[in-house]
Amino acid sequence: MVKVNKLSVLMILVYFFQSGKSQNYIPIPLDSNHYWSHEYIAWQGFQGIIMHNSFYYSVKDTNINSKAYKIIAANPNCNSWVRKKGILRQDSASKKVFIYHPTLDTEYLLYNFDKHVGDTMITIDTPNYDFTSSPPTLITLTVSSVDSIMLLDSKYHKRIKYCQTTCYTVIEGMGGISSILEPYKVIFESDLRVICFGKKPIGNNLIYSYGNYGCLPDFTSVIENNATTKYYSLNNVVHDKLIVNYNSKCNIKLYDITGKELSNIFQESINGNHHIFDLSNLCKGIYLIYLYSNDKVIGHEKIIKD
């Protein structure tokens, strides 16, 4: 009779469990139902620190050289300072995602989730496909660690850390934690990161959130009323009381700068068109107020509490 060590059996079962789990590839959801919210923070000399937020979506399907691609765009419906876009193709069988350079008619490997510690990957640092006909800079990254992380969807996602002079983290089913399109980009004296990723409507059904950040509603494409018409007025600089007047029925929400809704802030409605918020217990800083009508955004403002 062959004696079987219980510890050996346990180790074998764990091995097969981990192997089976790693074989279940979670694709990046390159569809119009998902979004990535990016935050860009930079030091601009005498201007001090500036911060921009942008939302990335899949906006269109396209076929190039008999291959199916998804066009991912930042703030696609807004005249924003950032108008970046990328053309991505996902091959779930090989666990790879490619980015297409339209000027050069060439695709480059952007993600490879079939990697192990010590493996290398040749990719691009910054996809300047929108602005130049020159080939992007190729870089060689080495895998320093591979593990799994449970995201807010209660699923384990493979996490890979690539390193060169700087280390970069990518997550299966999401992309880079710094950017969906530029996961290996280094910006001097600045920071780029994904603060939230999830399924629409924005702010609900989060899959990933950076730290304790929430996810602000996207105002790049949802202002329903004519831009020349303003249906409300308020005091942008406040001490203790924020007064909002409006001439059409609406709901009002207040957020801090990280996107957390301040639902516990007392507000008083007078005659249905006048709101008073008591901000006396809030710290000095910047806050955001959003006005909704029939679940559509009709306005948003930055509030400074001094």
Weakest-pLDDT range from 159-173, 179-193, 228-242, 272-286: 228-242
Burial label for 77, CB within 10 Å (0-12, 13-18, 19+), is: middle
Is 31 within the bounds of a domain? yes
In a domain, 172, yes or no: yes
Question: Which CATH number belongs to the domain containing residue 300 in this structure?
Answer: 2.60.40.10
Residues near 303 by beta carbon (within 8 Å), at least 6 away in sequence: 234, 236, 237, 238, 242, 254, 286, 287, 288, 289
- Is 234 a residue whose pLDDT tops 60? no
Instruction: Name the more confident of 256 and 64.
Output: 64
Rounded distance between C-alpha atoms, residue 98 and residue 94, angstroms: 11
- In this prediction, residues 2-29 reach a mean pLDDT of 59
pLDDT above 80 (res 98)? yes
Query: Structural domain tally of the chain?
Result: 2
121/154 same-domain check = yes
Examine residue 9 and state whether it is found in any structural domain, yes or no.
no
Report whether pLDDT(261) > 70.
yes
Please tell me whether residues 93 and 143 are part of one structural domain.
yes
Q: What is the DSSP string of 57-92?
A: EEEEEEEETTEEEEEEEESTTS--S---EEEEEEET
Among the candidates 164, 194, 209, a domain finishes at: 209
Pick 47 or 291 by higher pLDDT: 291
104 Cβ neighbours under 8 A, 6+ residues apart: 129, 133, 135
The C-alpha torsion from 204 through 207 and 211 to 215, rounded to 10°, is -30
Note whether 277 and 284 are within 8 A (CB).
no
Predicted confidence (pLDDT) per residue in 122-135, tens digit: 998 876 555 566 77
- Does 221 reside within a domain? no
Identify how many contiguous H helices and E strands the chain contains and give both numbers. Answer: 1, 21
Least confident of 18-27, 96-105, 167-176, 239-248: 18-27
Tell me the pTM: 0.65
Domain boundary among 209, 240, 257: 209
pLDDT score at 135: 79
**Statement to judge: residues 183 and 88 lie in one domain:** yes
261 shares a domain with 141: no
Q: Are residues 40 and 180 in the same domain?
A: yes
* Parent domain of 283: 232-305
Of 16-30, 118-132, 168-182, the range with the highest mean pLDDT is 168-182
Same domain, 201 and 289: no
Please indicate, yes or no, whether residues 152 and 264 belong to a single structural domain of this protein.
Answer: no
**Cα–Cα distance between 230 and 246 in angstroms, integer?**
9
Q: How much is the mean pLDDT over the chain?
A: 76
Residue 1 in domain: no
130 and 172 inside one domain: yes
Given this model, what pLDDT does residue 128 score? 57
pLDDT at 62 over 90: yes
- The answer to whether 55 and 36 have CB atoms below 8 angstroms apart is yes
Give whichever of 35-49, 119-133, 223-237 has the largest mean pLDDT. Answer: 119-133
281 and 202 housed in the same domain: no
Query: pLDDT by residue (tens digit) across 287-296?
Result: 777 777 776 6
**Same domain (yes/no): 130, 276:** no
